[in-house]
């Protein structure tokens, strides 16, 4: 990539989603994609799964991000897919949905790299004590992506009314 080129020149927008995600994140991604004239790839990372290859030195394949899902995981993925279908009904933006495996920040980052994504879109953490405890133990996906990316990350703030 030359100095004059940026990730904003081409590629889709990758958006991290999960069950119950506020519509504000989906709408922000849709409007951003419309303004760029690009596709949106929504991605849900299944936490109860692992990557096919765990060693950074091994050859990675397209299948390595895809989890082997049981019925419960498939149900959650279907719920997220249905939510996206409803939120994007009538949208002129081309979009797709992926279910990934592993650590959310790593999986989203890797998908963005594999797709030559122009940017990532994720929500920030919710307010409140319970969410701070969750972030302490699990870490913040938004923070991990913002600190460890070579492409832009659009952070959509969540307010108290978004949950």
Largest CA distance in the chain: 47
- Whole-structure pTM over 0.75, yes or no? yes
13-41 residue pLDDT tens:
999 999 988 999 999 999 999 999 999 99
Rounded percentage of the chain residues whose pLDDT exceeds 70: 65
Tell me the Ramachandran region of residue 11: left when phi exceeds 0, alpha when psi lies from -120 to 50, beta otherwise.
left
Judged on CB neighbours under 10 Å (0-12, 13-18, 19+), 122 is buried
- Domain assignments of the chain as residue spans, ordered by start: 7-162
Judged on CB neighbours under 10 Å (0-12, 13-18, 19+), 44 is buried
The residue that leads in pLDDT, 65 or 104, is: 104
Question: Rounded mean pLDDT of 120-148?
Answer: 62
**Could you tell me if 125 and 139 are in contact, meaning their C-beta atoms sit under 8 angstroms apart?**
no
Rg (CA), the chain: 16
Residue at token pair 């492409």? 151
CATH of domain 7-162: 3.40.50.620
**Could you tell me if 85 and 97 are in contact, meaning their C-beta atoms sit under 8 angstroms apart?**
no
């Amino acid at each position: 990539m030359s100095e004059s080129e940026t990730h904003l020149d081409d590629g889709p927008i990758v958006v991290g989603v999960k069950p119950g995600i506020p519509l504000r994140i989906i709408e922000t991604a849709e409007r951003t994609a419309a303004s760029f004239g690009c596709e949106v790839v929504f991605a849900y990372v299944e936490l109860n799964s692992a990557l096919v290859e765990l060693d950074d030195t091994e050859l990675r394949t397209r299948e390595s991000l895809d989890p082997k899902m049981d019925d419960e995981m498939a149900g959650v993925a279907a719920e997220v897919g249905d939510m996206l279908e409803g939120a994007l009904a009538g949208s002129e933006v081309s979009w797709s949905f992926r279910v990934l495996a592993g650590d959310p920040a790593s999986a989203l980052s890797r998908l963005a790299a594999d797709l030559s994504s122009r940017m990532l879109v994720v929500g920030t953490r919710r307010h409140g004590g319970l969410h701070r405890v969750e972030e302490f133990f699990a870490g913040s996906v938004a923070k991990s992506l913002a600190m460890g990316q070579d492409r832009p990350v659009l952070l959509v703030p969540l307010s108290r009314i978004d949950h």
